[in-house]
Amino acid sequence: MKVILAQPRGFCAGVIRAVETVELALEQYGAPVYVRHEIVHNQHVVEGLRAKGVRFVEDLEEVPANALTIFSAHGVGKDVENHARQRQLKVLDATCPLVTKVHNQGRQYAAKGYQVILIGEAGHPEVIGTLGQIPAPVILVRNVAEVQTLDFPPLTPLAYITQTTLSLDDTYTVVEALKQRYPHIVGPDTRDICYAVQNRQAAVRELSRCSDLVLVVGSVRSANSVTLRDIASASGKPSYLIANGSAVRNEWFGNGTTVGITAGASTPESMVDDVIAALARIAPLEIEVLPGREEHVQFRLPVGLAARQ
C-alpha cells in the first residue's frame, strides 16, 4: 500500500496557541484549570488535557469563585466575557487571533451603520461567539438558497463577514450570490478566510488527484475536518473522516491502493501516526509526503502567561 501525506496537515497556529495556553496554565497556576467549551474540537486532545486536571464546562456558573478560566479557540460572545467579569474570574482568552479579526470586522461594519451578514454554520461555537461580539442585529446565512430569501430594500447598507473554517469555494459562491443581489455590499476578500484552512483545502485537492482513497483524520464536530472530507469526496474519490486508527476498515482497500491522508487543523500528528500504524497492520507501506506550503505562523500567548524557556 502506498500512503501519501498531505502538506500541510494537522495543528494550525491558532490550535497550537490554544493548547499551549492550557498546558502552560496548568504548569504556572496548577490544576484544576477550567475551560469554557472544548478548547478545540478533538476528543484526543480534550481527554489528554482532562487527564492532566482540566475541567471543561459549558456554563461559567460551573466554575468556582476565583478559579482560572480559559476561553476556547472558537471565541465567546460579550455576554460570556461580562459574566466572567461579574464573577471576578481570572480569564485567559485563547480565542484564535483570526477569529478575533472577524469579530473586529463585524463590529467595525456595525459601527458604520451597515447591516451585517455572517456566512457560517448555525450553532457552531465560533458563529455563536461572533454573533455575540457584534452589538447590532446580524443575519446568518450558510448557502446560496438562504441568500435568495433575503429581502433588504435596495439601498440598505450591507456588509458580510465569514466563519473562518468554511470551504473557500462554498464561501466564494455565497459571496458572489450576495454581490449579485446587492452589488453595493462590502466585505473582506475571501482570501481573508483562515490561512490554515485555505492551505489544508488546497493540499487535500492536490492529494485527491494522486490518491485512490482519502482519509481525513479529525473529529466529526470539527468544521474544517468535515470540509476536508467533503472536498475530497467532491473529487470523486472515496473519502472517510476518521478519529484515529481504530476506525480504519480493511474492506476500504484493495491490492496496491494509494491512500491519501490529511488531518484537520485541530488534529494532533499522533492521531495521523495512529492511522498509519493501523494501515501498516493491513499491508506493507510505502510512505511519501506531498510537496506543499510550509507554515511558519506563530501567535503570541494570551496576556498572563509566560512562555516556556
Residues tagged active-site: 126
Residue that is written with C-alpha cell 469554557 in the block: 36
- For residue 125, which amino acid is it? P
Distance CA 46, CA 218 (A): 13
Helix (H, G, I), strand (E, B) or coil at 126: helix
5 backbone dihedrals φ, ψ, rounded to 5°: -95, 130
Residue 224 assigned ligand-binding role: yes
Q: Which of 212, 254, 261 is nearest to 235 (CA)?
A: 212
Residue 262 assigned ligand-binding role: no
Residue 96 assigned ligand-binding role: yes
Whole-Å CA distances, 280 to 2, 254, 258, 263, 274? 10, 14, 13, 18, 10
Distance CA 114, CA 287 (A): 51
Residue 246 assigned ligand-binding role: no
Residue 12 assigned ligand-binding role: yes
Beta strands in 94-133 (DSSP E): 115-119
Q: Judge contact between 120 and 130, C-beta under 8 A.
A: yes
Residue 74 assigned ligand-binding role: yes
Helix%, strand%, coil% for the chain, nearest 5: 40, 15, 40
Please name the helix (run of DSSP H) or strand (run of DSSP E) that holds residue 93, with its range, or none. strand 90-93
Residue that is written with C-alpha cell 473586529 in the block: 104
Distance CA 235, CA 176 (A): 22
List the alpha helices (DSSP H) in 112-164.
125-131, 144-148
Whole-Å CA distances, 111 to 86, 106, 121? 26, 9, 24
Query: For the chain, how big is the Rg over CA atoms in Å?
Result: 21
Binding site members: 12, 41, 74, 96, 124, 164, 194, 222, 224, 266
Binding site members for [4Fe-4S] cluster: 12, 96, 194
Binding site members for isopentenyl diphosphate: 41, 74, 124, 222, 224, 266
